[in-house]
Chains A and B, each alone.
Chain A
């Protein structure tokens, strides 16, 4: 049973169940609920990107929120100007890829807390540009009435249609990330995280992979922004302030950094849980902050790590109980054997 819980078949089954659940969900939820679940998916995509940079490649970034913002503004401005959505979507990713690549350069020079502050400064700078450059971003009034795409005659204007569209795009992006993690790229990222000097001496081009880790993670953030823009249809610079970057960082760590499903769980604690815990109302953030502190204290590997720890604990319990049962059985066998031996001896 416990082996089953961590087995591939079990993970596969959970995944299938989740997908089926997400597909039938719209038939039971009101538009607001749909918006919320779609919001969860968008945040999860952004966190997936950050997880690639932070969780796998070990490069701390406090700028993921800024990339979501850049992606959202890029898509918003382009679709408002009449550019077809797919082109705007790809441009958002490409733009964030390029900016993320440039942001990776400081990471070649400095590490850890310095890198955290460079990315933090970058995040605040992007926010200031969004707020102040009114000719481009419309300043504090933000962008309004962003159209939802019409793809191959499928109009995603209604809440339910757009939900399915978000689900489709999220699945595709998640698949891409899953593929990257399993590819040699992913292994190079992990090598970079575990021991950069060793990775370098083993022939991993750490310079290129550091830049790549930033660029890829950022472009996924950009794609999340490209989904966010038509989802909410209205946004302003405050949506992408430093708070969003910090929130995304918390999501990755709380879910479990360096695990594929961690960002999904982390995003759920930030986006879905507050709605279900409506009783707590204004106190939700206080409770959440306390839970994060307690979680970090006892299990810095996040919720996934906590789950794994519980499962391994249960398994160990089971193994030890099995072993004692076995020992007992063996003991009985021995008794039986000696009995039969003596009987046999008596018979001879």
Chain B
């Protein structure tokens, strides 16, 4: 039982990170039909912003974190939207997919060639200690991640549902033309979602890099996990992506321990295929109408 609790909590912690990434992924899809195949690399990059800042500017860890967050907002939010998404929107979904695949190659290779191909140790935001809870040993990291992720999700929820700005963003996602008629600055709302995504991936990056170490290939698994979480939970609901992320993290951890460590990666994929075939709108999602 103690082992189960341990696995469950650490699974929840990983799942919370997946959830953050999946929420960002889904926001981009909803407001601008961007399927960001570079989302995994977006999580990989901010950790390297921190390392770059420490190495080149010679600043301490926390100033470097600040610089990395600003760099993420500017590069992964603003620049990504202006330079890649905006010019491509008129061409439809597929060229943009190809473009983000190319972007993911670009980011990976850039880190490999200009920083290092080796895994880099990364400082955790709080010191790591083991806490004893009902006989189960739980890392303080896991608790910290869960707290921060819940805070981020609650904050986002408050923003989206509790403020005028948030409701304007939701209106933009649901029906851009009507939103525009109602006087909502649609373009600015879309830009906000890109900035929120940049913030979420930066947060995820800071929390996951101490566990996985910062490496240029980290994005592969993270990106896949975000897609799966978003689809399993439901592509059109924020809470869907959160539930999807948590389920995925827990299932992955339990499957590795109780079913097969070799097929650890396969269980989420099977889950994905089953959900898509059985309930394409996701566990929490609404069905979308088919258009002619």
Give me the interface of A with B, judged by CB distance under 8 Å: 60, 106, 109-110, 112-114, 116-118, 120-122, 124-125, 128, 131-132, 195, 197, 242, 246, 249-250, 253-254, 282-283, 285-286, 288-290, 292-293, 296-297, 300
Task: Provide the residues of chain A in CB contact with B270, threshold 8 Å.
Answer: 121, 125
Residue B122 at the chain A interface, CB threshold 8 Å: no
- B269 near A296 with CB under 8 A, answer no
- A285 near B99 with CB under 8 A, answer no
Residue from A124, A195, A293 within 8 A of B106 (CB atoms): A293
Q: How far is it, in angstroms, between the C-alpha of A283 and the C-alpha of B277 when the chains are bound?
A: 41
- B280 near A110 with CB under 8 A, answer yes
- A117 near B227 with CB under 8 A, answer yes
Give me the interface of B with A, judged by CB distance under 8 Å: 29, 35, 84, 87-88, 91-99, 101-103, 105-106, 109-110, 112-113, 220, 224, 227-228, 231, 262-263, 265-266, 269-270, 272-273, 276-277, 280, 292
- A292 near B99 with CB under 8 A, answer yes
- B280 near A290 with CB under 8 A, answer no
- A197 near B292 with CB under 8 A, answer yes
- B94 near A253 with CB under 8 A, answer yes
Task: Provide the residues of chain A in CB contact with B92, threshold 8 Å.
Answer: 300
- B103 near A124 with CB under 8 A, answer no
- B269 near A121 with CB under 8 A, answer yes
- B95 near A300 with CB under 8 A, answer yes
Q: Which residue of B lies closest to A246 (CB)?
A: B101
- B99 near A297 with CB under 8 A, answer yes
Which of A124, A195, A249, A290 has the most CB atoms of chain B within a 10 A radius of its CB?
A124
- B273 near A296 with CB under 8 A, answer no
Task: Provide the residues of chain B in CB contact with A122, threshold 8 Å.
Answer: 269, 273
Q: How far is it, in angstroms, between the C-alpha of A142 and the C-alpha of B99 when the chains are bound?
A: 33
Task: Provide the residues of chain A in CB contact with B102, threshold 8 Å.
Answer: 250, 288-290, 292-293, 296
Q: Which residue of A lies closest to B93 (CB)?
A: A112
Task: Provide the residues of chain B in CB contact with A118, threshold 8 Å.
Answer: 272-273, 276-277
- A250 near B93 with CB under 8 A, answer no
Q: Give 25 pairs: A residue, B residue, CB < 8 Å, sorted on A.
A: A106-B273, A110-B277, A112-B93, A114-B231, A117-B228, A117-B231, A118-B273, A120-B224, A120-B227, A124-B224, A124-B269, A125-B269, A282-B109, A285-B105, A285-B106, A285-B109, A286-B106, A286-B113, A289-B109, A292-B98, A293-B99, A296-B91, A296-B95, A297-B99, A300-B88
5 closest A-B pairs by CB: A289-B106, A300-B95, A292-B102, A121-B269, A289-B105
- A128 near B99 with CB under 8 A, answer no
Task: Provide the residues of chain A in CB contact with B112, threshold 8 Å.
Answer: 282
Q: How far is it, in angstroms, between the C-alpha of A141 and the C-alpha of B86 when the chains are bound?
A: 45
Q: Closest CB of chain A to B265's CB: distance in Å? A: 6
- A250 near B98 with CB under 8 A, answer yes
Q: How far is it, in angstroms, between the C-alpha of A132 and the C-alpha of B264 when the chains are bound?
A: 11
Q: Closest CB of chain A to B249's CB: distance in Å? A: 17
Task: Provide the residues of chain B in CB contact with A250, threshold 8 Å.
Answer: 98, 101-102
Q: Which residue of B lies closest to A105 (CB)?
A: B277
Q: How far is it, in angstroms, between the C-alpha of A132 and the C-alpha of B231 when the chains are bound?
A: 26
- B103 near A293 with CB under 8 A, answer yes
Q: Which residue of B lies closest to A108 (CB)?
A: B277
Q: Closest CB of chain B to A221's CB: distance in Å? A: 19
Q: Which residue of A lies closest to B37 (CB)?
A: A246
Q: Beyond A132-B263, A286-B106, A289-B103, is A106–B113 a contact (Cβ under 8 Å)?
A: no
- B280 near A109 with CB under 8 A, answer yes
Q: How far is it, in angstroms, between the C-alpha of A252 and the C-alpha of B190 when the chains are bound?
A: 31
Task: Provide the residues of chain A in CB contact with B228, threshold 8 Å.
Answer: 117, 121
Extra A-B contacts (8), CB below 8 Å, given A117-B228, A254-B98:
A114-B276, A121-B272, A132-B263, A253-B98, A285-B105, A286-B113, A289-B106, A292-B99
Task: Provide the residues of chain B in CB contact with A289, threshold 8 Å.
Answer: 102-103, 105-106, 109
Which of B87, B94, B265, B280 has the most CB atoms of chain A within a 10 A radius of its CB?
B94
